[in-house]
Amino acid sequence: MAKRPISDFKRKTANRLRANTTAAEQILWRHLRRLDVRGSHFRRQVVIGPYIADFACLAKRLIVEVDGSQHEGLRRDDVRTRWLPSEGYRVIRFWNNDVMSRTDAVLEAIHDMSAVTPPRLPAAGDPPPQGEGK
């Protein structure tokens, strides 16, 4: 499937979010930009499909979301968290207060997930895995 271009609206929204980060996002970004895991390179406010991820390491297909209390129980967060894995992304979520008060534990969890590269999703037209099909 061909990638669709990012709309001007999504691009401007991502830029606005980058310019208006929360304190928790600022703290996490200071650490993520220097994360020492081979092949990891995090970016902020990344457009992925119809969504904008707080932080993403595209090579590792890892998305880190930092949520405030306004996200508690939001159905659209549940939909988003189901859609992203269906596209091959792993999603890890933290509350703002965890990032602020338990930064080391948050970073350790992210580091552990970053150290593993998920398996590649089969592309359309790929042959079936060994032993399947005739």
The whole domain housing 109 covers 15-114
- C-alpha 92/C-alpha 64 separation (Å) is 5
pTM of the model as a whole: 0.75
φ/ψ of 36, rounded to 5, equals -100, 70
Of 55, 38, 61, nearest to 119 by C-alpha is 61
Q: Examine residue 129 and state whether it is found in any structural domain, yes or no.
A: no
* Angstrom distances, CA of residue 117 to CA of 38, 64, 122: 10, 15, 15
Q: Examine residue 5 and state whether it is found in any structural domain, yes or no.
A: no
DSSP state of 36: -
Per-residue pLDDT, 123: 61
**pLDDT tens, residue order, the chain (134 aa):** 446 667 776 677 666 766 778 899 999 999 998 877 777 889 999 999 889 899 999 989 999 999 886 545 556 677 888 899 999 999 999 999 999 999 999 999 999 998 887 766 656 555 555 554 44
Q: Examine residue 85 and state whether it is found in any structural domain, yes or no.
A: yes
Of 132, 42, 134, 56, nearest to 88 by C-alpha is 56
Task: Give 115's contacts (C-beta < 8 A, 6+ positions apart).
Answer: 37
Q: What's the structural domain count of the chain?
A: 1
Give the domain CATH number at 76.
3.40.960.10
Q: Examine residue 4 and state whether it is found in any structural domain, yes or no.
A: no
Q: Examine residue 119 and state whether it is found in any structural domain, yes or no.
A: no
Per-residue pLDDT, 80: 82
Q: Examine residue 123 and state whether it is found in any structural domain, yes or no.
A: no
Q: Examine residue 9 and state whether it is found in any structural domain, yes or no.
A: no
Per-residue pLDDT, 73: 54
